[in-house]
Amino acid sequence: MKQFPVITILWNVAFLSLFFSLSPQRAQGLTIGSEEQDSGKEITIAVAANFKKPFEEIKVLFQKRFPHWKIISLYGSSGHLTNQIRNGAPVDLFLSADLDFPNSLYEEGFSDSPPEVYAEGILVLVSNKSLGGYRNIEEILTSTETKTIAMANPRTAPYGKVTLEFLKELRVWKSIEGKMVYGESVTQVNQFVITSAADIGFTSYSSVKANEVEWNDWKPLDRKMVPSIRQGKILLKSQGPITNEKKLVLQQIYQLIGSKGLDPILKKYGYEIPNRTLERKLKGTKRGKSI
């Protein structure tokens, strides 16, 4: 595992402390608003279920940074959130679990700019029992002791889509399809396993990091077969008049998500940091579709 110099981590922590301690006036050199939340000053952010825990921490920082703005967060599978946006849900910013869903919104005219990668997620296998007696993932999946396997719906949840691709590449899908139970998102997959409604399940590594005491055991997957999942953010067009003040706040929040200052939170929850140099090169070419 790659080691990060202590000085880099300390610098990031210092950056966060400095940035969020600044008043809005000092940070931008202009007045952003009063110190209390004003009626109507709301920003709505739709967040993929796998990113809920880290975003809850990030949201606290944002709320301190913009105390006069109310930040509303909506959680769910990326597919369902995308459909809500298409159907007119008043969402300002979308943090998806992949790039495909926000790309589709961009191509349909819901945003002026293509999505950008803010984090890279990892798919893992979790269990409510010990997996120590098995030699490999295939043996776990096909064992007669494994009665039910949970995965997110591949039509609406990017982690489910990646799970399906992995199982087909592993050439076990046809033999285990009858064991599968489907959750709307990784959050529901987690509940299936924790409550023993499923013996094992495919979820995000961030779920393991956020709820380590809940799992009896978990296994990483072959990274050659299951690359990191590039998760995209996209700033959406306003459905009505928008003030310059809100535009400014939205731009600041958008830029901060995926910035170096928030790297410690991403690492805490098991996300990989995007190669920002590579992502800048990819931006504007093919809009960086997810792996």
Chain centre distance of CA 69? 23
Residue in 103, 33, 53, 45 with CA at minimum distance from that of residue 71: 45
> Residues 32, 111, 88, 253: is their CA dihedral positive or negative?
negative
| 217-220: strand order across its sheet | 180-183, 149-152, 200-204, 123-127, 217-220
Residues constituting the chain:
291
Where are the extended beta strands (E) located within the chain? 42-48, 70-76, 93-95, 116-121, 123-127, 149-152, 180-183, 200-204, 217-220, 229-235
186 with 207: CB under 8 angstroms?
yes
DSSP helix/strand/coil, 115: coil
Half-sphere CA count of 7, side-chain side, radius 13 A: 0
Establish whether 23 is an annotated binding residue: no
152 with 160: CB under 8 angstroms?
yes
Establish whether 78 is an annotated binding residue: yes
Q: What are phi and psi of 95, to 5 degrees?
A: -110, 100
| Residue stretches of the annotated binding site for molybdate | 78, 186
| Residue stretches of the annotated binding site | 78, 186
